[in-house]
Structure 1
């Protein structure tokens, strides 16, 4: 009990800091809260001084943010989260209803993600030990699927399956049939990413002595594969928990496209309108969900590997083998570089109203947008800013995630809280503190992008600390620095780096999407996310307008996953080579 008290206090302090930051949002953004509320209630009403004064008196804005936060917290103790500043309705029933819709959507999306992840890993599970010996990586198509924006996938499904074919309803929230398309839109990219992470860990499990001994004794491959899954899942459970929270509060675009009254959409609308009671209650619900899911993930990990973790009887999943020398990264990189070079030779801002929404041709290989601008030029010029900023943010997130993940007691509460904050809300908070500007999207995405990497690092660290070779290394008198450099980092850093590469396309999209919302560089900037958002209304009439930037994101995803095959620990010591030779002799 005493051991868990500091962790509970630290978690409470982190959540309190987040809620205080949200409570200060109208004042940090240097806007008049009364004017924002009036515009949200009725944009046509005249903002006369007496009207604004009446709103301030009604909401108690003159008392200041501390009084408002104290009043809201006091009401929570009695089961009352207050009333919406916009609609006047009770907040708690509205948040509870929205949370129920989001949880239902999340459950269906997780089912789709599980099937997708199983399809991605099917070849590895079928080949088993033979796949572990070759060390070949698969999943380029999965990476391209994971790189596609959710709102683009949702729009295609709604337009093609829902409207043109009429197989399933594309709008509304009235029953199980209305759940299928949004679940597919969210679950397919999520399952592709989870499947790639699992496919990356499975060869290490198949290379362990128990798997080789089981195969030598003639135990069926399906049974060995089932135990290999059990061996690898604990390292992914924390990230699976993060996906649960992210799917609940972060599926804003999908909820808007399919008109789903979910918590993500409710929280976003409240953040834009600065409806503090709804925003604070929705965020608190997401934080509570994150804490609950994180606890369940830890319990599930103990159930799968509990005795081995307690006794220090695990075998490391790290295999210091030679990197994958596939030429696919060169192919994908050359394709991406070629598009950029061709685009840079053209003017991305030249308007030609007579050539609006032209199909691809020799004059315009990617077609034109609604203003007649050449899409190849805009994709090429937008790549410079989009990719450079995405790489910088991904590198910063990787460093922060590994550093904090190596201190799990410190980072656990931070991970749960950061994951509960949608990127748009993070962008609004960063804008309030910094005053906005081109750096706002980078700061906002970096503020939350490290959380999955930290969770992955902590999970791998926990398993590596329970390995027999680490106990032997310590028994031989190795110090902490030697253990960290020669044992822990070689086991943790390569898979987490590959994880960061898999998330590179989504980071690029999140950066540009925040810019489109006015939290950074806006139109006419040719960033890829802006291109997708600007041309999205014309997707049915001119599909090439969204397919061009989406295809480049897919190529970026394929490049990231194929390049990740070459990620390994650069300082492979003699012990690593000796262990590889020993495994060869054991075969």
Structure 2
């Protein structure tokens, strides 16, 4: 036990983690995100209700001890569906962000390190995709492919990787001119080894910050497309779908939209606060500049 704690101590005492721990907003965001993750993991398991089973005898029941968040128009427990929807929303956010990160980092590395006509071709593709509003392009892709969670993931991943590619490319263009990278290339090190050992660790910071900040946007886009009927299909529980079905009962059952709406707000706010904290921890100079009103000392 003691040896395990000793091995974990360098990680806990890492300067970045200590800076992050001193940021109250980042800690609050991390707590919110962790709470939603725990809700998604254990909520549906502990609940005595089935998130998709109908009970018309108990339809549109107001919040009570038996149903803390009430029931919907088909008698389903809203709290259980909210927890099950957290699995879908958070799972899609992580999956889409992972695909965007992998694709964008790969394209950015190749474009920045190889350069030449390869860089020109890849960046022109990126420029074409960036010429369209992301949510509109995702809406078109999801509409053409058909409404389903798989097509929703593909649509959101297809339009969001370009930002990663541009960030990574700009970082690689700067890193490849540094002395230690040139020295490694002059010694005859393979290109793959140079990228893995010298380039990737240097560009990891901006990518981690971008991925953390991207989580909130993906959650919001997932809920928006599902609200329009292009994501999860009833009776599958998903926050955007719950909002879409609950909007018909705004006057007589406000809890049908309050619960998923508040969940979306908390998830997006928590992810953004955590992302801002990670950015400040990895970029202390940027934090000083922001706190001083844009004036560097």
The TM-score bracket by the shorter chain reads 0.5 to 0.7
Q: Which of 388, 393, 402 is 2:96 aligned to? A: 393
Aligned to 1:404: 107
> 1:423 and 2:126 equivalent?
no
Q: 2:72 aligns with which of 361, 369, 372?
A: 369
Q: Where in structure 2 are the equivalents of 1:333-482 lying within 5 Å? A: 333-343=37-47, 345-352=49-56, 355-356=59-60, 358=62, 360-406=63-109, 407-408=111-112, 409=119, 410-419=121-130, 420-432=132-144, 434=145, 437-475=148-186, 477-482=188-193
1:374 deviates by: 1.7
Once residues 421 and 143 of structure 1 are traced to their aligned partners in structure 2, the CA distance between those partners, rounded to angstroms, is 32
Contact 1:456 1:496 in 2 (8 A): yes
**In structure 2, the residue corresponding to 1:519 is in which secondary structure?**
coil
CA distance in 1, matches of 2:32, 2:146: 43
Unmatched 5+ stretches in structure 1: 1-130, 146-325, 566-587
1:348–1:377 contact (8 Å) kept in structure 2:
no
* Structure with more contact order per residue of length (Cα contacts < 8 Å, sep ≥ 6): 2
1:325-382 alpha-carbon deviations (Å, 9 max, x no partner): x998766643443434345743434244665261x33211223335543211211222
State the 1:487 CA deviation.
Answer: 1.2
Q: d(CA) in 2 for partners of 1:349 and 1:462?
A: 55
Is the Cα contact below 8 Å between 2:67 and 2:78 reproduced in 1? yes
Counterpart check, 1:136 vs 2:25: no
Please identify runs of 4+ aligned residues in structure 1 that moved more than 6 A: 142-145, 326-329
List gaps (5 residues or longer) in structure 2: 1-14, 113-118, 279-297
Partner of 1:123: none
Q: How does 1:119-518 map to 2 (within 5 A)?
A: 134-136=18-20, 141=25, 333-343=37-47, 345-352=49-56, 355-356=59-60, 358=62, 360-406=63-109, 407-408=111-112, 409=119, 410-419=121-130, 420-432=132-144, 434=145, 437-475=148-186, 477-518=188-229
Q: Is the 8 A contact 1:365 1:376 kept in 2?
A: yes
Please, which moves more after superposition, 479-488 or 416-425? 416-425
Q: CA RMSD in A?
A: 3.9
Q: Identify if the C-alpha distance between structure 1 residues 550 and 496 changes in structure 2 by more than 3 Å, giving closer, same or farther.
A: farther
Quick check: 2:37–2:90 contact (8 Å CA) kept in 1? no
Equivalent residues, number: 253
| Structure whose alpha-carbon radius of gyration is higher | 1
Residues 330/525 of structure 1: CA separation in 2 closer, same or farther (3 Å cut): closer
CA offsets, 1:469-506, max 9 Å, x none?
Answer: 43444455544223211111112234313422332243
Q: What displacement does 1:395 show?
A: 1.6
- Asked if structure 1 preserves the Cα contact closer than 8 Å seen for 2:213 and 2:271, the reply is no
Cα 1:144–1:132 change in 2 (3 A) is closer
SS in 1 for 2:97: helix
- 3-state SS in 1 of match to 2:76: coil
Q: TM-score, normalised by structure 2?
A: 0.66
